[in-house]
């Protein structure tokens, strides 16, 4: 089996082999027969749990070719070109790649999709918006206007794939059916390992560690199910860290050295989160999880911190300087952890 899926069929085959979300079978069985009756949909959940695969599994029901048709279309503008995938039934737009001119580029992409649907026999299609949690704020403000039906001659529906829904305006939420996908269990991850990799590797690891390698799986540390893979043993015995861990660990170290905290150095560490475009919600949770697991917080403080996190998530990115909100919440963590109040 290929490590990374490259065609729609590969994703569908992966679900047939290992469906990490069997709870969606009822949803699939009760889907309407036509796109016109389909309605809009939001699929949300943690990163790397198969949201896109499940979206394709839903789309397959409306595809005459079972998603065997795969083509790339390019929208050309004065400032940039944008290429996206289409099938006989849907059109994929990655909201994270629209850039700073997202309003203009999205309008051009949307109008091109409308032109394509207009010449189709059934005059219907579904726009799949990937990484919707990374949409530009200016485009989000007007996005609902594109979801409203503008022409009686064509039918356009939306499937929004996102990691969070709290930032989405109520008018969009109320016009969509919402599907929440949970993180797979340890048993399900073990099932993926058993089906994807040679047992010889598993047996060699069991012999080396004198235990079951599957017991070493930490569900909370798996960011993407495709990361459950074998790799050559590194000399120092450590799994290489990705940039997310490096940056968040730097922030944690700065917070631990609160007595010698440099405001400039701390701000630089925080800025790295923005420079590398990390998921701020995941960063905050990673930092908070570390201090809770290491018993650096009193139980009474955890409730106060979660209340403050709610306010942080509400106002973050609604200010012209998001660094202010990041600094504010992290300094609040420090005051609670080390009892500066």
| pLDDT reported for residue 298 | 81
Largest interatomic CA distance in the chain: 69
| pLDDT reported for residue 58 | 94
| pLDDT reported for residue 338 | 85
> Are residues 143 and 15 part of one domain?
yes
> Are residues 211 and 65 part of one domain?
no
Q: Please, how many CA atoms are within 13 Å of residue 41, restricted to the half-sphere of its CB?
A: 26
> Are residues 262 and 132 part of one domain?
no
Residue 107 lies in a domain: yes
Tell me the pLDDT tens digit for each residue of 238-270: 555 678 889 999 999 999 988 888 888 899 999
Tell me the pLDDT tens digit for each residue of 288-328: 999 988 888 888 888 888 888 888 887 776 666 788 889 99
Residue 234 lies in a domain: no
Contact (CB, 8 A) for 101 and 80: yes
> Are residues 176 and 106 part of one domain?
yes
> Are residues 125 and 259 part of one domain?
no
Task: Tell me the pLDDT band of 277, cut-offs 50, 70 and 90.
Answer: confident
Burial class (CB in 10 A: 0-12, 13-18, 19+), 241: exposed
> Are residues 165 and 202 part of one domain?
no
> Are residues 256 and 165 part of one domain?
no
Contact (CB, 8 A) for 82 and 105: yes
Domain count within the chain: 3
Query: Which pTM does this prediction carry?
Result: 0.68
Range of the domain at 312: 243-337
Residue 232 lies in a domain: no
Q: What is the CATH number of the domain that holds 327?
A: 1.20.272
> Are residues 261 and 206 part of one domain?
no
DSSP run (H or E) holding 81: strand 81-86
> Are residues 153 and 12 part of one domain?
yes
Residue 325 lies in a domain: yes
Task: Tell me the pLDDT band of 224, cut-offs 50, 70 and 90.
Answer: low
Residues 6+ positions from 224 with CB-CB distance below 8 Å: 47, 48
| pLDDT reported for residue 189 | 79
CA-closest candidate to residue 8, choices 47, 51, 57: 57
CA-closest candidate to residue 127, choices 161, 91, 155: 91
Residue 261 lies in a domain: yes
C-alpha span between 266 and 257 (Å, rounded): 10
| pLDDT reported for residue 325 | 87
pLDDT at position 3 over 50: no
> Are residues 140 and 19 part of one domain?
yes
pLDDT at position 223 over 60: no
């Amino acid at each position: 089996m290929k490590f990374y899926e490259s065609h729609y069929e590969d994703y569908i085959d992966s679900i047939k082999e290992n469906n990490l979300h069997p709870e969606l079978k009822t949803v699939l069985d009760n889907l309407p027969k036509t796109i016109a009756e389909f309605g809009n949909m939001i699929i949300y959940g943690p990163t790397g749990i198969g949201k896109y695969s499940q979206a394709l599994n839903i789309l397959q029901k409306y595809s005459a070719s079972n998603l065997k048709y795969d083509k790339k279309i390019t929208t050309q503008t004065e400032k940039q070109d944008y290429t996206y995938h289409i099938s006989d039934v849907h059109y994929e737009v990655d909201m994270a790649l629209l850039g700073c001119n997202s309003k203009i580029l999205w309008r051009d992409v949307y109008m091109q999709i409308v032109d394509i649907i207009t010449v189709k026999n059934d005059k219907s299609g579904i726009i799949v918006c990937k990484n919707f949690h990374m949409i530009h704020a200016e485009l989000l403000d007007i996005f609902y206007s594109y979801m409203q039906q503008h022409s009686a001659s064509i039918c356009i529906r939306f499937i929004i794939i996102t990691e969070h829904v709290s930032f989405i305006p109520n008018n969009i939420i109320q016009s969509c059916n919402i599907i929440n996908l949970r993180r797979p269990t340890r048993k399900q991850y073990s099932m993926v390992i058993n089906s994807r990799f040679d047992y010889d590797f598993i047996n060699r690891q069991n012999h080396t560690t004198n235990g079951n390698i599957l017991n070493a799986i930490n569900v909370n540390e798996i960011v993407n199910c495709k990361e459950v893979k074998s790799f050559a043993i590194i000399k120092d015995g450590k799994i290489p860290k990705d940039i997310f861990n490096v940056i968040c660990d730097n922030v944690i170290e700065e917070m631990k050295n609160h007595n010698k905290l440099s405001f400039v150095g701390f701000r630089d560490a925080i800025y790295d989160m923005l420079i590398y475009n990390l998921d701020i919600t995941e960063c905050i949770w990673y930092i908070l999880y570390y201090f809770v697991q290491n018993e650096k917080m009193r139980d009474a403080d955890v409730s106060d911190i979660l209340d403050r996190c709610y306010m942080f998530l509400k106002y973050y990115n609604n200010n012209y300087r998001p660094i202010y909100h990041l600094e504010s919440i992290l300094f609040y963590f420090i005051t609670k952890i080390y009892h500066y109040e």
